Structure 1
Amino acid sequence: MATILIIDDDDAFREGLAETVQDLGHSPTEARSGEEALAQLHECPAPACIFLDFRLPGADGLAVLDSLRRMPGLQTVPVVMLTAHATSDNTIGAMRLGAFEHLTKPVGRDEIAALLERILTAQSGAPAARVFADEVTSREPQLLGVSESMREVQKRLGRAAAANATVLITGETGTGKEIAARVLHRASARVSGPFVAVNCAAIPHELLESELFGHGKGAFTGAQSDRRGRVEEAHGGTLFLDEVGDMPLPMQAKLLRVLQERQVTPLGTNRLVTVDVRVVAATHRDLASMVEAGTFRQDLLFRLNVIPLHMPPLRERVADILPLAEHFLAGASSDVLRKHLSADAQRLLATFAWPGNVRELANAIERASALAPGQVLTREDFVFLTAMKDTADNAADAIPATLLELPLPQAVAHLERTLIVRALSAAAGNRAEAARRLGISRQSLYTRMATLGISDA
């Protein structure tokens, strides 16, 4: 028999949970507020587990959890946070302070039984608390989502915020990998330090070393003075390496050394600079397959993938589509003329595949809001989505049979090469115009042309 403390000001819920705990063969104790619970804990032995409501009279659940983690003998007691309305902020806040789990009311008997069995069998406890900055305002980047898959992402991100290990964020383009990295930085003890983002795919390979590690005066033509690299700029904070899968092999070796030694050598110098940075990397590529193909270092993957965090595509989190749409619409509307989604528009958005994920949804809402003649956005205001789908379907039907017989990497490379050559031809060799037609940056076009062996058209 284990003692389970339940802290909740909702008498009916607290008493019902206590009855369930007792039916499962354990001994429940109850408190209606954090202050009452803390007074009990000063007088009684530590319980085996604590259920703690987020909203309480007086100090809220996060403040109570923080106090629990400071009390001798209670730092490792598993705490299960309860809330009637889960948000990304309260989920991440609970997990970063070491909560064992974060549940949304109502909670069923089977879920309680399974959770207690997991807690009492493993007795893994929760990590000791750390002091973090206050919650930020809603104007800061937020990792929004109420679906089960996003709740799991928020929980893992909250746990990762309490550590200092390297994080690898994977997921399709547009799923919010950089937002996740910024939220992780904001929730960590490094929040007072800089957040420095580097897009490895957008910087020409020959300039990437200087961009990351800096250079000395005279290191190359045009280097008229010393320059700090982005790694050094991130000292005391977080370095976000976006699209790390596009980093060339020679740079991968140099990045591995930085991760191992925590030192950088600016280009053209013999000077060692010690850095204290947390590295968060992101990619939409399958790095394991790239390791097998010899295009990504296995030892670097091991170094980056200490804490993996996968961002699910929007099609796998349908429950988030309409809340996200309303959020983006609120941002796109003026305070005077607040726009809304009609029922048919909501049905269209909820059933659309969203190949571009959250980024595509945000762009669609902004476009429809700007062009819609009325205050209510209808299905007709999103007709461009179905037009884009029809174009994509027609393009898929037009793929030559010979291309379909190739292995996927070769087929993709062939198709990408064809599109780039056509864009360059249509732009009369103007790379900036070709990049605009392809919807990518000029630097990305340079990189892809070099990779695919495409000369000027």
Structure 2
Amino acid sequence: MAHILVVDDDEGFREGLVETLLDLGHDVDEANSGEQALEVLQDARAFTCVFLDFRLPGMDGLALLETIRAEPRWRLLPVVMLTGFATSDNTIGAMTLGAFDHLTKPVGRLAIQSLLERIVSSEAPSAAVDEQAASFTSETANKKPRLLGVSDTLREVQKQIGRAASSDATVLITGETGTGKEVAARVLHDVSKRRGMPFAAVNCAAVPADLLESELFGHVKGAFTGAASDRVGCIAAADGGTLLLDEIGDMPLSMQAKLLRVIQERYVTPVGTHRQVPVDIRLVAATHRDLKGMVESNEFREDLLYRLSVIPIHLPPLRERLADILL
């Protein structure tokens, strides 16, 4: 049996959710505001999870979630955000702050039961935010949404981006041309702790193979014909921020080996010198190609694919998410 706190100012919805949870055999406490929820959390015994409405009078749901995450004893408490209308901003914002999940009202009995089974069986909830996680501030939340969609598939992408924002792990974004891979990368950067730092994007398919090394690593004066002065490469230019390598499936094998070394060693060597320049970047790669198939045909390095796909995110085409067409 789980001990659950339901926080919602909509009395009808709150009573319905509480009734469902009680019927499933759980112990439930209620609160109709963020302030009351904090009082209940302070006074009551340990909770298994919290169902938290996004819009509340006074302290809203995101503010309460941020307060919960700032308190050490509640840091790993699974929080399920509820909203009457899901947007990319409130979905990504909730996941960035460490929500276990983000559900759209109304929520069915089977969905609640399945969710609680996941929460109870989870030893270390994926919602946990490490100490270095960036907070999703009201300034960020008020930015115009760019990854638009309310379909289940795109909402899952938004949740993945929110979860990924709290770490520096490398992300591989896949999807057909035009599905918004660079948009997703920029949204990820804007909600991460690296926002405010550089975001650099390189289209590996648009740069000639013989110039790609210079484009990425930079070069010194006289390194090759036409190198009239030193040039900082895109990797070093993104230091402290995020580097997007778009269409990475078009990167030549020789460059793949050099990129793998950068990922492992975290330094670059400009063309024409042996000087090693340390870099601190969050790497995001994107492609419309089937990299696993390319590995089988020896067109892409398996060890590089392993390094890139730490957090894989797939963007479905619009024809597979018809609910997003009007948006």
Query: What is the TM-score with the length of structure 1 in the denominator?
Result: 0.69
Q: Deviations over 1:395-434 (max 9, x none)?
A: xxxxxxxxxxxxxxxxxxxxxxxxxxxxxxxxxxxxxxxx
Could you tell me whether the CA contact under 8 Å between 2:93 and 2:141 is conserved in 1?
Answer: no
Please point out which of 163, 170, 177 is paired with 1:166.
Answer: 170
Could you tell me whether the CA contact under 8 Å between 2:90 and 2:141 is conserved in 1?
Answer: no
The 2-side partners of 1:242 and 1:91 are apart by: 25
Partner residue, 2:316: 312
Partner residue, 1:104: 104
Could you tell me whether the CA contact under 8 Å between 2:134 and 2:191 is conserved in 1?
Answer: no
Helix, strand or coil: the match of 2:264?
Answer: helix
**1:209-358 pair list within 5 angstroms:** 209-323=213-327
Letter of the aligned partner of 2:308 in structure 1?
L
Letter of the aligned partner of 1:50 in structure 2?
V
Helix, strand or coil: the match of 2:195?
Answer: coil
The 1-side partners of 2:51 and 2:304 are apart by: 41
Residue 60 of structure 1, CA deviation? 1.0
The 2-side partners of 1:277 and 1:2 are apart by: 41
Letter of the aligned partner of 1:99 in structure 2?
A
Unaligned runs of 5+ in 2: none
Q: Deviations over 1:289-348 (max 9, x none)?
A: 11111111111100101100000011101111122xxxxxxxxxxxxxxxxxxxxxxxxx
Instruction: Check 1:303–1:198 CA distance in 2 against 1; reply closer, same or farther (3 A cut).
Output: same
The 2-side partners of 1:159 and 1:55 are apart by: 21
Residue 153 of structure 1, CA deviation? 0.6
Number of matched residues?
Answer: 322
The 2-side partners of 1:294 and 1:99 are apart by: 40
Residue 44 of structure 1, CA deviation? 2.2
Partner residue, 1:145: 149
Query: What is the TM-score with the length of structure 2 in the denominator?
Result: 0.96
Greater relative CO, 1 or 2 (CA 8 Å, sep 6+): 2
Q: Percent identity?
A: 65
Residue 117 of structure 1, CA deviation? 1.6
Could you tell me whether the CA contact under 8 Å between 2:166 and 2:193 is conserved in 1?
Answer: yes
Partner residue, 2:128: 127
Residue 123 of structure 1, CA deviation? 4.0
Partner residue, 2:65: 65
Specify the structure having the higher radius of gyration (Cα).
1
Could you tell me whether the CA contact under 8 Å between 1:46 and 1:74 is conserved in 2?
Answer: no
Q: Deviations over 1:230-276 (max 9, x none)?
A: 00000000000000000001100000000000000000011100000
Q: Deviations over 1:112-171 (max 9, x none)?
A: 1111122112243221263334325555x6110111110111111111111110000000
Helix, strand or coil: the match of 2:236?
Answer: helix
Residue 71 of structure 1, CA deviation? 1.1
Could you tell me whether the CA contact under 8 Å between 1:47 and 1:77 is conserved in 2?
Answer: yes
The 2-side partners of 1:283 and 1:121 are apart by: 35
**Bigger share in helix:** 1
Q: Deviations over 1:370-406 (max 9, x none)?
A: xxxxxxxxxxxxxxxxxxxxxxxxxxxxxxxxxxxxx
The 1-side partners of 2:301 and 2:26 are apart by: 51
Helix, strand or coil: the match of 1:80?
Answer: strand
Helix, strand or coil: the match of 2:74?
Answer: coil
- Structure 1 ranges of 4+ moved more than 4 A: 136-139
Letter of the aligned partner of 1:11 in structure 2?
E
The 1-side partners of 2:96 and 2:72 are apart by: 19
Q: Deviations over 1:342-367 (max 9, x none)?
A: xxxxxxxxxxxxxxxxxxxxxxxxxx
Partner residue, 2:117: 117
Please point out which of 174, 179, 185 is paired with 2:183.
Answer: 179
Partner residue, 1:44: 44
Helix, strand or coil: the match of 1:235?
Answer: coil
**1:429-440 pair list within 5 angstroms:** none
RMSD: 1.2
Could you tell me whether the CA contact under 8 Å between 2:244 and 2:283 is conserved in 1?
Answer: yes
Could you tell me whether the CA contact under 8 Å between 1:46 and 1:73 is conserved in 2?
Answer: no
Residue 102 of structure 1, CA deviation? 0.5
Residue 94 of structure 1, CA deviation? 0.6
The 1-side partners of 2:223 and 2:16 are apart by: 71
Is 1:155–2:156 an aligned residue pair? Answer: no
Could you tell me whether the CA contact under 8 Å between 2:134 and 2:165 is conserved in 1?
Answer: no
Could you tell me whether the CA contact under 8 Å between 2:7 and 2:53 is conserved in 1?
Answer: yes
The 2-side partners of 1:235 and 1:158 are apart by: 22
The 1-side partners of 2:141 and 2:222 are apart by: 43
Could you tell me whether the CA contact under 8 Å between 1:236 and 1:277 is conserved in 2?
Answer: yes
Helix, strand or coil: the match of 2:186?
Answer: helix
Unaligned runs of 5+ in 1: 324-457
Partner residue, 1:438: none
